[in-house]
Amino acid sequence: YTIPLLLALGVLRVVVFLLAYPLAHGADHLDYYLHAAFLGGVPLPVTVANTVPLYPALLAITYYGLGSSHLIFGIQLAMSAFEGTLYYLGLRRTSPLLAFICALVITGDPQIGILYNFTSTEPVYLFLLATSFCLLLIQARQQSRSRRTAAGDAALGMLLFALTITRTVGRYLYLPLGILFLLGTRDWRRVIVLAVGFIAASLIFNVL
């Protein structure tokens, strides 16, 4: 019952932080909305596209594509509810108790939790970081080579690329996380699969 409990606590977290901090735009929200409009085909100067592109792309889909100004908040609040559970899933095979304590600390941390209430790059970045951390630990324990293992390694590479286009600091994470993956698996072939996933995600995003 640990995972349902953590998910319930995640929902409670969302409710408590909504009561403390109502939904609002972040300090740089105008830059992201302008970039999103540019991606959506609005004739704006190319200089508005100077921000990291993943969050504006998400706004282009939810706001300019689907016409909802609230959908982005719904996505971010769902990410907030799942964040603690992701850390638990990554750490539980190392130590279920440590994993549970870490998940509780992360779920109850107001400095992280309130960020999901604002339109900014932080919510998506924090969620992708948690997902990458979880998948990295899970994949590092996979010893057999199979299609499922290869798919997970490629997916991790795609997540690492997503981090690079979410916030500027994310551009410096794929190398250390890749080294940790190599140390965990001790298999160059799996690192190559991870790199293929990273490159494939980069090509797909640039073509789109």
How does pLDDT run across 155-183, given as a tens digit for each residue?
A: 999 999 999 999 989 989 989 999 999 99
Distance CA 142, CA 169 (A): 29
**Are the beta carbons of 113 and 17 closer than 8 angstroms?**
yes
Q: Give me the count of residues in the chain.
A: 208
Q: How confident is the model at residue 40 (pLDDT cuts 50, 70, 90)?
A: confident
Predicted local distance difference test score (pLDDT) of residue 146: 83
Is 144 a residue whose pLDDT tops 80?
no
Closest to 36 (Cα-Cα) out of 10, 69, 77, 7: 69
- Partners of 180 in the β-ladder: none
Q: How confident is the model at residue 208 (pLDDT cuts 50, 70, 90)?
A: confident
pTM passes above 0.95: no
What does each C-alpha distance from 45 to 35, 37, 121, 165 come to in angstroms? Answer: 10, 11, 22, 21
Percentage of residues in the chain having pLDDT higher than 70: 100
